[in-house]
């Protein structure tokens, strides 16, 4: 900004386009849901409950399979 003032260029967001950062469109990083702009706390809570329910169902489905595999290993 000092350089622009020294050169007589008015200071505004349009004066030096190289200094303006509007973010990256190709950035592969996606912030966590609770750090995103415009997040709804109730929606986060509902998503958390859905994830927990899915994990419980998955665990109940996989647990008998694990027990069967362990039984086979012990029987060999």
Percent over 90 (pLDDT), the chain = 24
Domain count, the chain: 1
Give the span between the Cα atoms of 20 and 74, in whole angstroms: 65
* Domain extent at residue 38: 2-75
Residue 11 has pLDDT above 90, yes or no: no
Structure-block tokens of residue 22? 């509007």
Q: What is the mean pLDDT of residues 13-22?
A: 57
Contact 55, 49 (CB under 8 A): no
Q: What is the mean pLDDT of residues 32-61?
A: 91
Is the Cα torsion angle 26, 28, 31, 36 positive or negative in sign? positive
Q: What is the mean pLDDT of residues 56-61?
A: 89
Beta-strand runs (E) in 21-69 = none
Query: pTM of the full predicted structure?
Result: 0.45
């Amino acid at each position: 900004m000092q350089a622009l003032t020294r050169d007589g260029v008015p200071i505004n967001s349009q004066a030096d386009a190289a200094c303006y950062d509007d973010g990256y469109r190709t950035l592969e990083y996606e912030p966590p849901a609770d750090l995103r702009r415009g997040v709804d706390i109730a929606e986060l809570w509902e998503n958390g409950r859905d994830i927990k329910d899915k994990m419980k169902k998955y665990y109940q489905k996989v647990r008998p399979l694990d027990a069967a595999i362990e039984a086979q290993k012990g029987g060999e």
